[in-house]
Each structure stands twice: as structure tokens, then as C-alpha cells.
A and B are shown apart, each in its own frame.
Chain A
Amino acid sequence: MSDTSTDTGLRTVDGQPLKKALSAAQAKARRRAFLLVLPLLAFVIVTFIVPIGQMLHRSVYNADFTIHKDFGTREITPIMTNLSAWFDANLAGTDPDEAAFAALAADLVVLRELRAPGQVGTRINYEVSGTRSLFTKSARRAERLEPPYKEALLDIDEDWADPALWQAMRGASSPYTANFYLAAVDLARDADGSITQVNDNRKVYVKLFWRTLLLAALITVLCFILAFPVAHLLATLPLRYSNLLMIFVLLPFWTSLLVRTTSWIVLLQSQGVVNDILVTLGIVGDDGRMQMIYNQTGTIIAMTHILLPFMVLPLYSVMRPIDPSYVRAARSLGASSWTAFFRIYLPQTAPGIGAGALLVFILAVGYYITPALVGGSSGQLISNLIAFHMQGSLNWSLAAALASLLLAGVLILYWLYDRLVGIDNLKLG
């Protein structure tokens, strides 16, 4: 149908072309639907998307070397300006000359007045360890320094000649940097600015990412092994009984995470219930009590328990409508019960397996609370390291870079989940 035919064709009572009236009505309906969603969307954008955006910004931005903010007066002062000017004038790899040291000395005087050498030293310390005291020590004596500054500063500490230190300062003199992402994957810049691996004894992050992925995969497999028989039983029992048994799955789901974690501490500790039972039964001796908590084993057991309902529920909702007559037909055609199960029943549960496995894996990769409480040191995941950098070492930019990498991984999995399962099909209880 062309436009001209509708113009001359059907019209509404008030004389408008029907097509136009319809599209106006549809646009109004769309607007109304959108307006209903708008308040929540705005709320989520403000309380969720903006904070995450700010975190992403923090992962590439660190102004500790360029700006000092007074906590009391909230006054903002640019710092290290002389040295930044020298870096702008000289290419990377230039050996620091007398002018560079003079600029540094002038900046150290400013730092001393602002009481900010600690802040700058900490920033450089992220990249060259042991340099924080270098800044505080030198700033204390900065006012008494006299030319030639190069010799005067080297007099205070020989480390001022370290090319790696000058490279780190050059990097930090611009607040936007990718160095925190490099650090998050165990890379660093060497003295002439090229990217290299860090020393083997300082490689922690890549190892921890791998451990997180492996543990999450292991927990997903364990959840699947435990959930499949239970979901199958629930799906094949009459609803009267399965609703009752479902309580066993739903009660853990509704119980506080900290309660469940506490229970596992109580059960698994060396003077706990499980060890006591094993000793009473004579399986292990009183002196051979097993260490099952505050290590990787503890993390795996507790997280499997906590995430199990997320596997049972999707499996159950896929298994419930499966018609048992397919398996019966297979059996009547001569398949063994083994073949009938693997060739007929299992393929029909694949959507549930995919949904449950993806969900459990996504949740496991970012888990924090349980590993922090029962993981000891060998059961820590990447989330725990992010928390450590946020609250312990206060290297917020590195924490943000690690979090951004984790976020990227989770978002890819989330996208995959949406494509394969559809978030509309997410069901709770």
C-alpha cells in the first residue's frame, strides 16, 4: 500500500488518515510504556551506572602526582608543575640533567609546604617500590638544598639517579595513564618506557585471575553434579511431594549468606562437627583432624552449597515439562536405560544445564564474602584482592583496574546468557 492510497483512503471520524491516527496512537502507547520505566531507569543510572563509570574513570586516572587537595579547606593546588614542564620539554629516555633536578627540588619545596610528599611518594611507590620514604626524606631537606641540585639530591639518596624512578615520574606526571591496567596483568614499563613482564616473585594478578576462573569452573561442575539428580527427582515426583522437597532447596536460598558461611565454619573447623564425627567413627585419629576450612577446600565446599539452588531451579523448570513418554518410546524400541537417558533425556535438559551453569559461573567468578571469611590465603579470589587494594593498600586505581577487567569478563558472560537463555527467563523460586 502506498502513501497516496491511504491519503485518499480510510479516514477516522475527525477526518485524519487512518494510518496517521494509528501511528500517533502507537507512539502515544510507546511513550506511556517508556514513561512508566523512566523513573526506575533514571534511578538505576544514577545509583549504578554512574558509580561504575566513575570506577572505570578511576582505573585510568590518578592525579596524586599532579594535584593536591586539602582535606580541610578543599583547596586544590597543582603540584610537581616544574618537573612536568621539564618532562614536556624533554623526550622520554632523556637523562635527567641539572635543570630536571632543579625543577624537582623546587617542587619538593612546594610539597613540603603543602605537607603532600607522602601522597606523591605513595603514587610513585605503586610503580617503583621503596620510593615513598625517598620523597618524604628529600622534601624534609628540600628548603636547605643549594645548587648544583643534582649533586645535592644525590647526596640525600643515590636512588634519585634511578632511571626507572624517572620513568615512573614521567608516567605519573599526566593523570591519565594505562599503567594500572598493565599492573593488573603483571606488566610494567621499564626505564625506557617499553612494556615488560614484572619479576616472577611479584606476579600475582594473572595467577589469581586463573585461580578464580578455575575455582569458578570447578564449583560450577560440582553444582551440576549435585543439582542434576535432585532436580530430576523433583521434576518426576508428583507436585504434592516435590513442592515439599523443594523447601530443602528454597530454604538455603532464603537464608542469610553469612548464616550459611558461619555454619560451614562450625561444621568444618578442626574442632567442629564433621571432624568430631570422623574421629568418633574412627576414620581419622584425634591427632589427624582434617583442615577443611580457611583454605581452598573451605571456599569450594561453602560456595558449592551457596550456589547450588541457582543450578537446581533452572534445571527443575526445564525438566518438569519433559514428557516421560519419549524415554519410554526409546526403551520400547530397544534402547537400554543408559542409552535412553543419554540420547533422549539428557539432550532435552540442555537449556537448563546451560542456564544454570552460566548463572552459577557468573556468580562464582565475582564472589567475595565467602572466600573472605573461609578462604584463608589459598582460597582467595580476585574480588578479595580488589577489596584489599580498596581498604588495605589504598591503591584505588589498581583496585579499579582489576575490577574493570573482572567487570568486562562478567559482562561478556552476561551477554552470552542473554543471547542463549534470555534474561526474561530468569526465575527465582
Chain B
Amino acid sequence: MALPKHASTLERIWHYVYLVICGLIFLFLIAPILIVIPLSFNSQPYFTFTKEMLSFDPAGYSLRWYDTLLTFGMNAPNAVRDGNWWRDVWNNSTWLQVAGNSLWIGLFSTILATVLGTLAALGLSRPEMPYRRAIMAILISPMIVPIIIVATGMFFFYSSIGLANSFIGVIMAHATLGIPFVIITVTATLIGFDHSLTRAAASLGANPTTTFFKVIMPLILPGVISGALFAFVTSFDEVVVVLFVADFDQQTIPRQMWNGIREQISPAILSVATLLVVVSICLLTVVELLRRRSEKLRGITQS
């Protein structure tokens, strides 16, 4: 947005003020996320920059909080770091356990949400779909209904059918929460889909299954993958349902962070946060690349 040559002085001043305001808002958006990264390398148990850190003295920085993270929950954290020590880490480190749980729960709920969601999106994007609007409203509602209500309902439901405190219960709950994201991203991809391609495939003798895997799938794949990533992040970041329906065995990363924040917040939480920020940067990069690829496939060019 360039300033025109004929702009008055007042307009010029306003233009720069406006840019500064925008800069400050961007700072408000991004600073809280980036601030945890340097603080997680603090050598002191403080949540602020020490004098050593500000003068870039190496003594002010350390990996001690990452070490705390790894050794928390171990039988013998202070033993010599040999093969046995690492076995102890693998078997007993609390954060590794919960990270494993998070990954498995995330993986299975993502598969469930993506497979069912993609199929449904294919149906929903057909013009002949009956009751389209009402069904769409039901399928999107897990995103809109407050999470505390979902968790309360699931607590009653799972207790009555004996799924409380089980992995299957958590996975099903997380899949439900991820479904709206899959539906939204996949139907958005299908809006630009040229249905004469499937007719062409059919006229050339392909059956519906072949058409799906050879023609439709490659074209909508970027949308499906973004939807799957959304579903994974939803599960990976979910804490309230886990609080209500999961037991000690099904603790996840956010659940453990919740404990850490509520009980006694230590800079070790900041090192988890830093790792999660790195994960989200990776995910965002993948999603952006996919979006560009999808736009290219659909013939939308960037100006």
C-alpha cells in the first residue's frame, strides 16, 4: 500500500502512525510465542531475563531445564549416563511417556477423523446431497460447542458405557473434535474441483474406486493432508477432555503441562513450550507449502 504522491502532510503522518500501530499489533501477536524460547535456556529458576542473559554471558544460559525435563520421573536420574541410564529415561521419564501417549492418541484420532471426514466431505460437496445444510451444521458443531460441555457430556456417556479411563475413549473423543477441521479443509478443496474429470474417468471405463484413487485423490490430497494436520494439532493440544475422561495412564503433553502450570510452574514448562513452538513452526510450514501446491493444482495463480 504505497502512499500516493499527492498525499497531504497529515495523511503522510497518519500513514506512518498506522504502520507503527500495525507493527505493535504484530509484536503483540508474535512476542508471547517467541519470548519463551530464550527464557527456556535460563540458567536461573526465573521467568525473566537475568543480567547475564542480557549481556550474552554464556554463564547465563544453560540446558538445565531440558535436562530436568528428560530426567523427571526417572528412578535414578543422577546415575552415570550410560546405556542403563538411557534405558531408565526410555522407560520412566514422565515427559517421554506423555509424549508417547500424545503421539499415539493423536495418530489414531487423526486417522479416524481424516478417513471418515474425507468420505463425508466427498458426499457433502455433491450437489444432490439431501439435507446438506443441516448435516453440515451437525458435523461442524463439535468445533462451536464449548469444550467444557463436550467434556461433561462425554464424561457421563463414557462412564455409563465403561469407556472412561481408556485409550479408545480419548481417541474417539479427539477424533470427534478433529472432524470439523477435516470437513472444512477438504470441502474447501473440493469447491474448485472439476467434476467433469470424474465423468471423463467413468466414460473411459474406470470404476468409482479407481476414479477415486487415480483421479480425485491426487487432486484433493493437499487439502486432505492439511485437514489431517489440523485434526492432529487439535488432538495434540487438547486438555479438557483428557482432564475429564482420562486416567493416569492416558496423560498427554498438554495434560502434564496443565499440572505443571497449576501446581508449581517451573522453567521446565518453558522448555516444553519451546519444543512445542518448534513443532508448530514445522506444521505451519508444511500447511503453507500444501496450500500453495493445492492452489497451483487448481490453477489459482499468485499475483
Contacts and interface: CB of A to CB of B under 8 A. Distances in A.
Interface of A: 26, 29-30, 32-37, 39-41, 43-45, 47-55, 58, 226, 229-230, 233, 236-240, 243, 245, 247-252, 254-267, 269, 271-273, 276, 305, 308-309, 337, 362, 365-369, 373, 383, 386-387, 390-391, 396, 399-400, 403, 406-407, 410-411, 414, 417-418, 423-424, 426-429
A248 B149 contact: no
A36 B236 contact: no
Contact of A51 (B28, B46, B156): B156
B47 A272 contact: yes
A263 B36 contact: yes
Given A254-B284, A418-B137, A259 B152 contact: no
Nearest to A225: B25
Given A51-B150, A403-B149, A428 B230 contact: yes
Nearest to A250: B284
Given A252-B29, A368-B240, A369-B240, A406 B47 contact: no
A256 B25 contact: no
Contact of A424 (B28, B136, B303): B136
Contact of A423 (B122, B136, B172): B136
Nearest to B10: A337
* Dominant secondary structure at the B interface: helix
A298 to B, nearest CB: 12
A399 to B, nearest CB: 6
Interface in B1-54: 1, 11, 18-19, 21-22, 25-26, 28-33, 35-36, 39, 46-49
B232 to A, nearest CB: 11
B130 interface: yes
A54 B159 CA distance: 11
B196 to A, nearest CB: 16
A427 B149 contact: no
B22 A256 contact: no
A373 B188 CA distance: 35
A400 B149 CA distance: 8
A276 B291 contact: no
Given A47-B173, A266-B39, A428-B185, A258 B30 contact: no
B130 A43 contact: no
A410 B147 CA distance: 12
Nearest to B158: A51
Given A40-B117, A265-B261, A33 B176 contact: no
Contact of A55 (B133, B156, B257, B262): B156
B303 A239 contact: yes
B150 A233 contact: no
Given A33-B126, A40-B179, A251-B280, A429 B291 contact: yes
A308 B35 CA distance: 18
State which size class the interface on B falls in. 35 or more
Contact of B49 (A276, A366, A369): A276
Contacts of B225: none
Interface in B149-203: 149-150, 152-158, 160, 172-173, 175-176, 179, 181, 184-185, 187-188
B246 interface: no
Interface of B: 1, 11, 18-19, 21-22, 25-26, 28-33, 35-36, 39, 46-49, 112, 116-117, 119-120, 122-124, 126, 128-130, 133, 135-142, 144-150, 152-158, 160, 172-173, 175-176, 179, 181, 184-185, 187-188, 230, 233, 236-237, 239-240, 243-244, 254, 257-258, 261-262, 265, 269-270, 273, 276-277, 280-281, 283-284, 287-288, 291, 302-303
B116 A40 contact: yes
8 contacts: A30-B129, A32-B123, A33-B126, A40-B116, A48-B141, A229-B22, A262-B257, A418-B137
Contacts of B120: 36-37, 39-41
A35 to B, nearest CB: 7
B184 A428 contact: yes
A258 B237 contact: yes
Contacts of B11: 337
Given A40-B119, A252-B29, A264-B32, A258 B258 contact: yes
Given A44-B176, A47-B176, A267 B276 contact: no
A264 B124 CA distance: 40
Nearest to A365: B146
Nearest 3 interchain pairs by C-beta: A366-B146, A36-B123, A51-B153
B123 A305 contact: no
Contacts of A26: 128
Nearest to B237: A256
A369 B283 CA distance: 23
Give the interface centre of A43, A252, A391, A427 by most chain B CB atoms within 10 Å. A43
B33 A259 contact: yes
Contacts of A55: 149, 152-153, 156
B32 to A, nearest CB: 4
Contacts of B283: 254
Nearest to B302: A239
A395 B175 CA distance: 29
B154 A410 contact: no
A262 B173 contact: no
A329 to B, nearest CB: 14
A41 B148 contact: no
A386 B152 CA distance: 9
A263 B273 contact: yes
Contact of B145 (A230, A309, A368, A410): A410
B149 A251 contact: no
A410 B179 contact: no
B36 A251 contact: no
Nearest to B123: A36
Contact of B141 (A226, A229, A263, A414): A414
